[in-house]
Amino acid sequence: MPVPRRLIEFEFSPGALARRIVRGAVEHDMVRLHGGIVAAFEIYGAETAEQDVFDAARRLAAAFSPDCHATVADAIGSHAKRA
């Protein structure tokens, strides 16, 4: 059974990717964290990913805790250097 296009679009929306990144940091799930970052770069490109996904992820992470924010910011920064 094929996956409905709306579900795919929702799962990879900027908000969904931001939440996935932060959830990965909170749960110490590096596959989820880094997977969300890579998906954002691949789907949206560097500039749009920064504006629409990573800024939101940093804000959400900062609301959770300083450690979570640091983890998210470091992970995004390490990928941005490679992109």
pLDDT at 1 over 80: no
**How many alpha carbons lie under 13 Å from residue 50 in its C-beta half-sphere?**
7
Tokens linked to 73: 């910011």
The whole-number pLDDT of residue 76 equals 97
Alpha helices in the chain (DSSP H): 5-11, 14-26, 30-49, 55-64, 66-82
pLDDT tens track for 10-63? 689 999 999 999 999 999 999 999 999 999 999 999 999 999 999 999 999 999
Q: Taking a C-beta distance cutoff of 8 angstroms, is the pair 69, 22 a contact? A: no
Model confidence at 3, pLDDT cuts 50, 70, 90, reads: very low
Tokens linked to 40: 């954002």
Q: Taking a C-beta distance cutoff of 8 angstroms, is the pair 1, 39 a contact? A: no
